[in-house]
């Protein structure tokens, strides 16, 4: 049990923000097991049309998020990160409640777009923790925070599948909306920030807030690309996972529930392993841990290409989470170590933009590959682009010293 009152301010905020981004991750991903099934109830669609609509509805939220995240990052530097946290949580609560009332696929697509527009909870949580936490604890704190969004995103399908099986698709949205409103209340009551607005009359004190300014270090660009690729490989199969599970055969068990369990496996292993890998990275070097994560991910995705049944798929999705547990905290830690504190909010916002871009291209590329090469081709594609990312990072390491 947490003894919140005895903890320093940054640790208290970390507890609440972890829960907030955990629920944000659930909200973004819980529709995965039943999205295609829910859309199918909203009209009469062919298999190809259903696959495309499912991918578009899922991806549009991340597309809008990629566009607006830098704007919210700049506003956070001017108005404070807590204000952005409140805006994001309340906006998402309203959107989720409205999703329960949609009557056609276009209404659902519009609300998913609004969901992306209200984003920013994760990036501002990362920025707030990075700026408040003492340097000797920052790596571990950010690793813990990363497990929140990772666990939420990857456990979301399980929770969504359970809610849809116990209740209905629409009630799942109502419940998520209520929980996001709880996040808003908890953030308002318990998250504290001593924010001092920059003086607009002292131009020289204001940080340069442009993409070029925050990417003068080429490692930052590589880390942004890495974030995007990680998200592409994670999201490419998820929107159509229920269809792949159905193809493999679910042994007369609810397809929605089985798809939720399979999709949750990476989240379960990530939650278990991420804190351990975070500490290991502090000892042996974050760059070594990142290299191992790439190598392990290439192998696991390639092996998943050959699965023949639900049980094999479940095992390899669990192992995929171990790769995530090494990659995601390592990227966040390297970003923190290589970013000036004056640009922290903007860097994390741009990183979220790249993550959102990965979430856009992942489902779309997954749908395209599935239509040409069937669902298995997605895993082979994931293995190849992970190998490319490993090569890019290794090339940088040959010419620079990393810690």
Higher pLDDT among residues 23 and 206, named by residue = 23
User: According to DSSP H, which parts of 133-254 are helical?
Assistant: 135-166, 169-190, 211-214, 218-235, 241-248
For the chain, the domain total comes to 1
Q: What is the mean pLDDT of residues 126-147?
A: 75
In this prediction, residue 202 carries a pLDDT of 55
Q: Is residue 104 part of a domain?
A: yes
- What is the tens place of the pLDDT at every residue in 192-201? 887 766 665 5
| Tokens of residue 122, six digits | 């994760």
pLDDT level of residue 120 (50, 70, 90 thresholds)? confident
Q: What is the mean pLDDT of residues 171-185?
A: 89
Q: Is residue 200 part of a domain?
A: no
Lowest-confidence segment of 6-20, 97-111, 195-209, 231-245 by average pLDDT? 195-209
Task: Please answer whether residues 128 and 228 qualify as being in contact, where contact means their C-beta atoms are separated by less than 8 angstroms.
Answer: no
Degrees (nearest 5) of the Cα angle 170, 32, 16?
Answer: 80
Q: Is residue 393 part of a domain?
A: yes
Q: What is the mean pLDDT of residues 83-87?
A: 92
- The yes-or-no verdict on residue 2 having pLDDT over 50 is no
With a threshold of 0.95, does the pTM exceed it? no
- The yes-or-no verdict on residue 10 having pLDDT over 50 is yes
Q: Is residue 198 part of a domain?
A: no
The answer for 55, left when phi > 0, alpha when psi is -120 to 50, beta otherwise, is: alpha
- What is the tens place of the pLDDT at every residue in 35-83? 778 888 888 888 778 878 887 887 788 788 888 888 887 788 778 888 9
| Cα(275)–Cα(271) distance, integer angstroms | 8
Other C-beta atoms closer than 10 Å to the C-beta of 194 total: 7
Lowest-confidence segment of 1-5, 31-35, 145-149, 232-236 by average pLDDT? 1-5
Element (H, E) at 68: helix 47-79
Q: Is residue 88 part of a domain?
A: yes
- The yes-or-no verdict on residue 176 having pLDDT over 90 is no
- The yes-or-no verdict on residue 5 having pLDDT over 60 is no
| Cα(113)–Cα(108) distance, integer angstroms | 9
Top mean pLDDT of 251-255, 262-266, 390-394 is at 390-394
In this prediction, residue 106 carries a pLDDT of 92
Higher pLDDT among residues 385 and 397, named by residue = 385
pLDDT level of residue 107 (50, 70, 90 thresholds)? very high
Q: Is residue 341 part of a domain?
A: yes
| Cα(134)–Cα(141) distance, integer angstroms | 10
Mutual angle of helices 47-79 and 344-373, in 10-degree steps: 180
pLDDT level of residue 213 (50, 70, 90 thresholds)? low
Residue 286 is part of which domain span? 7-193+210-398
- What is the tens place of the pLDDT at every residue in 89-100? 999 999 999 998
Q: Is residue 216 part of a domain?
A: yes
pLDDT level of residue 384 (50, 70, 90 thresholds)? very high
Q: Is residue 337 part of a domain?
A: yes
Q: What is the mean pLDDT of the chain?
A: 81
- What is the tens place of the pLDDT at every residue in 288-307? 888 898 999 999 999 988 98
In this prediction, residue 283 carries a pLDDT of 75
- What is the tens place of the pLDDT at every residue in 306-334? 988 888 888 999 998 888 888 877 887 78
- CATH code for the domain in which residue 69 is found: 1.20.1250.20
Q: What percent of the chain has pLDDT over 90?
A: 13
pLDDT level of residue 1 (50, 70, 90 thresholds)? very low
């Amino acid at each position: 049990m947490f003894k919140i009152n005895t903890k320093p301010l940054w640790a208290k905020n970390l507890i609440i923000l972890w829960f907030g981004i955990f629920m944000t991750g659930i909200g973004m991903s819980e529709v995965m097991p039943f999205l295609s099934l829910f859309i199918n109830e909203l009209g009469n669609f062919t298999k190809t049309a259903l696959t495309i609509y499912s991918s578009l509805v899922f991806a549009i939220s991340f597309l809008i998020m990629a566009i607006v995240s830098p704007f919210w990052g700049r506003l956070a530097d001017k108005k404070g990160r807590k204000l952005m946290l409140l805006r994001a949580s309340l906006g998402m609560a309203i959107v989720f409640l409205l999703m329960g009332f949609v009557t056609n696929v276009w209404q659902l697509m519009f609300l998913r777009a609004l969901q992306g527009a209200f984003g920013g909870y994760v990036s501002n949580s990362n920025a707030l923790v990075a700026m408040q936490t003492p340097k000797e604890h920052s790596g571990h704190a950010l690793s813990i925070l990363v497990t929140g969004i990772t666990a939420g995103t990857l456990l979301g399908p399980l929770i969504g599948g359970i809610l849809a099986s116990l209740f209905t698709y629409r009630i799942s949205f109502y419940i998520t909306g209520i929980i996001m409103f709880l996040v808003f209340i908890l953030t308002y009551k318990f998250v504290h920030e001593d924010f001092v607005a920059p003086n607009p009359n002292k131009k020289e004190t204001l940080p340069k807030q442009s993409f070029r300014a925050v990417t003068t270090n080429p490692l930052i660009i590589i880390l942004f690309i890495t974030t995007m690729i990680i998200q592409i490989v994670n999201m490419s199969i998820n929107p159509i996972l229920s269809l792949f599970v159905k193809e493999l055969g679910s042994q007369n068990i609810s397809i929605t529930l089985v798809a939720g369990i399979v999709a949750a496996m990476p989240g379960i292993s990530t939650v278990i392993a991420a804190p351990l890998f975070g500490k290991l990275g502090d000892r042996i070097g974050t760059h070594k841990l990142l290299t191992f994560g790439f190598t392990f991910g290439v192998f696991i995705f390639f092996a998943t290409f050959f699965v023949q049944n639900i049980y094999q798929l479940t095992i390899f999705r669990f192992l995929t989470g171990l790769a995530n547990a090494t990659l995601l905290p390592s990227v966040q830690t390297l970003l923190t170590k290589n970013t000036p504190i004056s640009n922290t909010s903007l860097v994390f916002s741009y990183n979220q933009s790249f993550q959102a871009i990965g979430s856009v291209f992942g489902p779309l590329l997954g749908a395209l590959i599935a239509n040409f090469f069937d669902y298995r081709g997605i895993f082979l594609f994931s293995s190849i682009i992970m190998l490319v990312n490993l090569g890019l990072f290794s090339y940088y390491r040959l010419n620079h010293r990393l810690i």
